[in-house]
Chains A and B, each alone.
Chain A
């Protein structure tokens, strides 16, 4: 990997992000009665997309918003402009990643448009809440305003077709609630909340969600590792893998996901317990095995839509062998248009021959003279991949990510040398269960917690 390319400057990146930051700053104070400084941020966003098809609508939206008379369509236009800007940042970063990794991206597939006429009223209610939020600003939030999301989320969650927006709003609203009242906030996660707001606004639009599968694939799936994502009331496990088509075609980088809403007290090993019954792949990952797929649906951007009846656990497949042999030959799918955002970059890479640096800024790998930060916290708590294990590693399979202006590594698995032999430690080792002493204890506690909640639910919920 050419790590020098990852620390080099990217042309235009600072300018694009400066426009994003200036717009994001307008959401801190809110857009009910915009100040002159906020008008600058709005105009800057419009200028940044002046050469795009969005130009006219965004210019109008910036003007109306600066005058304090923005309607929903204007907030939508601003969200679209911000999404487009960060989309360009994503594209520029990904070109860099492809050069550094030396792995070409597949040609862009045509993503089908989503279903346009689903739950129109709920989407409208969500949009109204989001616009109220933009007017109040992060410093203007209070419990009453934030609480307005709850009925929308409760109505959306049971419908799997609305799960994306519902899960996003739920996590976002919980953060805002924990930060109320906004007037006394010492610091604001400026870019993060603008990201979540922008994304939610766009997901309320008809046709925004396009995850319908475009084909079915048959062949062998070689898992690389599991990325776990969670907020208080949701969890998703995403398995990154190399898929080898049975017909001998080019191997592909794919993901398989399983997610569930959850009570906030289900944590740690409880997350695996919640997800395990719904995707046999997690057990295969835990055991280090390949999986044979038979007509598994896949989306244009490389997401398998898992169905246990189309999967059969196969032969043992050592992850680092997959990373050394199959990964370099695999091609990645193009990102879905709306998902083009730097936070969504997660490219599997194998690193060897680095030295580990540990200081007050955390852990980093020095690779070919370049320093790459390692986010050792970003591994599931119910798993053996600790910061100490990462620090003593000699090889690392990681997801290459980008956040807050720099590339960083999220380890999925590492190899250590124990008595002159390589020993692998996986972040998702306990996905299918474990015999590890601490793991067994965590599993037992999690089983107990869910049992209590189910008993309480059975007794109190349907009365």
Chain B
């Protein structure tokens, strides 16, 4: 930038900045996002359908946290990566593609990145357990996300959506 001429991408009104999510099964991990400097999300409990775990991994440090939505610590998180965090990483890779997850979390992987190599690369740095103070916020973001299903569709035109063309290309 600053050298005058803008590239075609920079001069495009409809440039695709965020690729759309890839379809995945939601039963185990209904919510995943790359936000607030973390990979974070909600994992359904395998034993109690009323319970969910809020799990997260911080970008750069890989500090991890996992607790229930009532802020009880996850029983499996004595070391890095309980099953919930493993599931979270796996589903994030499905939704966003391994490269985008690796980029966001700042993980360097030799060769092809996938859920396994990403998890191994992070585990090998022996990350610390993070605090679970963000759990309430992540959970409320999940609820906000669910609330989108309850908003009424409309047949009044939204001309602004011309700036957001669909695409067959995926992440």
Contact assessment for B18 and A174 in the assembled complex, using a CB-CB cutoff below 8 Å: yes
Query: What residue of chain A has the Cβ atom nearest to residue B36's Cβ?
Result: A143
The main secondary structure of chain B at its interface with chain A is loop
Chain B positions within 8 Å of A454 at CB level: 149
Interface string of A44-57 (1 = CB under 8 A from B): 00000000000000
Contact assessment for A192 and B13 in the assembled complex, using a CB-CB cutoff below 8 Å: yes
Contact assessment for A189 and B153 in the assembled complex, using a CB-CB cutoff below 8 Å: no
A229-B164, A452-B30 known; A446 vs B157 contact (CB < 8 Å): no
Tell me the complex Cα distance, A456–B26, Å.
10
Within 8 A of B (CB), among A288-340: 299, 303, 305-307, 336, 339
Query: What residue of chain B has the Cβ atom nearest to residue A144's Cβ?
Result: B36
Chain A positions within 8 Å of B30 at CB level: 265, 452-453, 456
> Is A376 an interface residue, CB under 8 A from the partner?
yes
Give the residue of B9, B17, B44, B165 whose beta carbon is less than 8 angstroms from that of A178.
B17
> Is A415 an interface residue, CB under 8 A from the partner?
no
Chain A positions within 8 Å of B124 at CB level: none
A191-B6, A192-B17, A228-B166 known; A260 vs B143 contact (CB < 8 Å): no
A143-B37, A154-B144, A199-B160 known; A258 vs B23 contact (CB < 8 Å): no
Chain A positions within 8 Å of B6 at CB level: 21, 190-191
Give the residue of B23, B24, B31, B49 whose beta carbon is less than 8 angstroms from that of A459.
B49
> Is B101 an interface residue, CB under 8 A from the partner?
no
> Is A211 an interface residue, CB under 8 A from the partner?
yes
Distance (whole angstroms) from the CB of B33 to the closest CB of chain A: 8
Contact assessment for A258 and B164 in the assembled complex, using a CB-CB cutoff below 8 Å: no
Q: In the complex, which of the residues B11, B50, B69 has the most CB atoms of chain A within 10 Å of its own CB atom?
A: B11
Contact assessment for A378 and B165 in the assembled complex, using a CB-CB cutoff below 8 Å: yes
> Is B25 an interface residue, CB under 8 A from the partner?
yes
A405-B8, A453-B146, A457-B146 known; A236 vs B165 contact (CB < 8 Å): no
> Is A107 an interface residue, CB under 8 A from the partner?
no
Interface string of A198-224 (1 = CB under 8 A from B): 010001000000010000000000000
Interface string of A237-278 (1 = CB under 8 A from B): 010000000000000000111111111110110110011001
Interface string of A155-170 (1 = CB under 8 A from B): 0011010011001100
Interface string of B47-73 (1 = CB under 8 A from A): 001101000000000000000010000
> Is B128 an interface residue, CB under 8 A from the partner?
no
Distance (whole angstroms) from the CB of B133 to the closest CB of chain A: 15
Chain B positions within 8 Å of A238 at CB level: 157, 161
Tell me the complex Cα distance, A457–B10, Å.
39
Contact assessment for B27 and A452 in the assembled complex, using a CB-CB cutoff below 8 Å: yes
Tell me the complex Cα distance, A186–B153, Å.
37
Chain A positions within 8 Å of B95 at CB level: 265
Contact assessment for B151 and A453 in the assembled complex, using a CB-CB cutoff below 8 Å: no
Give the residue of B18, B35, B161 whose beta carbon is less than 8 angstroms from that of A229.
B161
Give the residue of A256, A405, A442 whose beta carbon is less than 8 angstroms from that of B23.
A442
A233-B148, A261-B148, A461-B147 known; A164 vs B162 contact (CB < 8 Å): no
Query: What residue of chain B has the Cβ atom nearest to residue A375's Cβ?
Result: B165
> Is A460 an interface residue, CB under 8 A from the partner?
yes
Contact assessment for A188 and B1 in the assembled complex, using a CB-CB cutoff below 8 Å: yes
Query: What residue of chain A has the Cβ atom nearest to residue B24's Cβ?
Result: A265
Contact assessment for B156 and A211 in the assembled complex, using a CB-CB cutoff below 8 Å: yes
Chain B positions within 8 Å of A258 at CB level: 153-155
Chain A positions within 8 Å of B159 at CB level: 164, 336, 339, 344
Distance (whole angstroms) from the CB of A14 to the closest CB of chain B: 12
> Is B21 an interface residue, CB under 8 A from the partner?
yes
Contact assessment for B21 and A259 in the assembled complex, using a CB-CB cutoff below 8 Å: no
Tell me the complex Cα distance, A143–B58, Å.
14
Contact assessment for A303 and B147 in the assembled complex, using a CB-CB cutoff below 8 Å: no
> Is B125 an interface residue, CB under 8 A from the partner?
no
Give the residue of A279, A306, A404, A452 whose beta carbon is less than 8 angstroms from that of B11.
A404
Contact assessment for A346 and B151 in the assembled complex, using a CB-CB cutoff below 8 Å: no
* Interface residues, chain B, with chain A CB atoms under 8 Å away: 1-2, 6-15, 17-18, 20-27, 30-31, 33-37, 44, 49-50, 52, 69, 95, 142-170
A-B pairs, 9 with minimum CB distance: A260-B153, A229-B161, A306-B155, A343-B13, A457-B146, A228-B166, A404-B12, A168-B160, A236-B161
26 residue pairs bridging A and B, Cβ less than 8 Å apart? A160-B152, A160-B156, A188-B10, A192-B15, A230-B164, A236-B161, A257-B155, A258-B153, A263-B146, A265-B30, A265-B31, A267-B23, A271-B166, A306-B155, A343-B162, A344-B159, A377-B167, A377-B169, A381-B166, A381-B168, A410-B165, A448-B25, A449-B26, A452-B30, A457-B147, A457-B149
* Interface residues, chain A, with chain B CB atoms under 8 Å away: 17, 21, 25, 28, 37, 143, 147, 150, 154, 157-158, 160, 163-164, 167-168, 171, 174-175, 177-179, 187-192, 195-196, 199, 203, 211, 228-234, 236, 238, 255-265, 267-268, 270-271, 274-275, 278-279, 299, 303, 305-307, 336, 339, 341-344, 346, 375-381, 386-387, 403-405, 410, 442, 445-446, 448-450, 452-454, 456-457, 459-461
